[in-house]
Amino acid sequence: MILEITQKYLRKEMNRIGVHPDSIQIFEKKQNIIPLKLFGVPFPAANIIKQEMLALGGDAAVHKNVIDGKVERSDILLFGTKKHYEGLMEKLSKMPFFGLLEIKKDLEEFFNKKRIELLISPWGRKVYLNNTLVMGIINVTPDSFYPESRKKSVEEVLAAAEKMIEEGADILDIGGLSTRPGSEPVDEEEEQKRVIPAIKALRESFPRAFISVDTYRAGVAQKALENGADMVNDISGFSFDERILDVVADTKAPYVLMHIKGTPKDMQQNPFYEDVINEITAYFYEKIQAAADKGVDPEKIILDPGIGFGKRYEDNLEILSRIRELKSLKKPILIGHSRKSFIGKTLGDISPEDRLEGTLAITAMCSLCGVDIIRVHDVKENKRVLKMLEAVKCQMYSSPLEAM
């Protein structure tokens, strides 16, 4: 009899077999192929890496003309276990040429850097990132794409917040400016009139709630944080108002950096990508460095690939299918998919009111892929999906004795 074992259960199976405890970590380094991509490697270095990986028992895919030097640079796809990569780093450490030491440093950072485990607000409030968190959407706008999320008064905001907190929301996201496709922005004064009273009332009524302000304007972010908000959620990745970086740097507030192509008014007018994941990744690398140069703590940054913001239908699906790749950046990942148009298209051009089941399917997938925060309209239903999945994952990660 032969049985293929689920990767997450290998440690339990080794314990059942009776493997020596000191050997378990050695075997775990051999159990899982980790495909890594290196970009723009000079052809001599690409040849060396290819040969070294083969010698170690791994492999590397390079451009077909690397071997004869007919291309100056090549991307590389590495195929190896943790053990193979440890061997490669050891070999590269003795090669101070062709940029190989820099590649070794990048590999070390990839394997050794730890993702942050909690978000701390300027006020000292905390949320822990040990499970997928639910961010509940509260829009103080008359024109958000999903009518049920629109709140016309402070009283409606408080009622919605109370319901979401009872249903298990970890974060409340308050926005006063619609960013649906084709929307026109209101002026900053109007946005503040909508958002600031709502945040003041929320902070007074729910002193322990973790509140996010959904804005790309520095002035609104500053006022919101002064009045008790804990986090800034910027759909523009500081492209619309770079001064927001000064606010984040000064207050040390957690900051959601989202990818967008264009503006809400024009972002869905024929967006195009040759490689959507690579382009988003390059955008994040550039933006994280620029934010750090402005004094923003990189450990305060959460990344959002911007589902539906300057993306085609197929782009949204590819991003979701490749979420694990974005986790290579070692930053918390936020996904805002709730009731969006790509769900409606998939399910037969249905309206936002009928997109709950599709939303829950994506939520389940996000949980299994290790997404840190999901931004949704329907807290109770999404929270229940996550709770069920966490129960299954706890079984997968429990000790061998607990599993028996």
Mean pLDDT of the chain: 90
Please give the average per-residue pLDDT across 307-313, as a whole number: 94
pLDDT above 50: residue 18: yes
Q: Which residues are catalytic?
A: 340, 375
Q: Are 127 and 133 in contact (CB under 8 A)?
A: yes
Looking at 13-27, 282-296, 313-327, 355-369, which range is the least confident one? 13-27
Q: How far, in Å, are 55, 118, 300, 318 from residue 284 at the CA level?
A: 34, 20, 14, 17
Cα four-point dihedral sign 222, 204, 381, 391: positive
Look up the pTM and report it: 0.89
pLDDT above 90: residue 54: yes
Query: Rounded to an integer, what distance in angstroms lies between the CA atom of residue 160 and that of residue 188?
Result: 24
pLDDT band at 269 (very low <50, low <70, confident <90, very high): confident
pLDDT of residue 148: 75
Q: Are 309 and 239 in contact (CB under 8 A)?
A: no
Query: Residue 387 has which token pair?
Result: 């709770």
pLDDT above 70: residue 321: yes
Please give the average per-residue pLDDT across 201-218, as a whole number: 97
pLDDT band at 177 (very low <50, low <70, confident <90, very high): confident
Helix (H, G, I), strand (E, B) or coil at 335: strand
Query: Residue 322 has which token pair?
Result: 């490749």
pLDDT above 60: residue 404: no
Number of CB atoms found within 10 A of residue 404's CB: 9
Which one, of 292, 310, 207, 307, lies nearest residue 255 by Cα? 292
pLDDT above 80: residue 320: yes
Q: Phi and psi of 172, rounded to 5°?
A: -110, 130
pLDDT above 50: residue 377: yes
Residues of the chain with pLDDT > 70, as a percent, come to 93
pLDDT of residue 364: 97
Please give the average per-residue pLDDT across 186-204, as a whole number: 94
Query: Rounded to an integer, what distance in angstroms lies between the CA atom of residue 167 and that of residue 137?
Result: 13
Please give the average per-residue pLDDT across 233-255, as a whole number: 97
Query: Rounded to an integer, what distance in angstroms lies between the CA atom of residue 273 and that of residue 100?
Result: 30
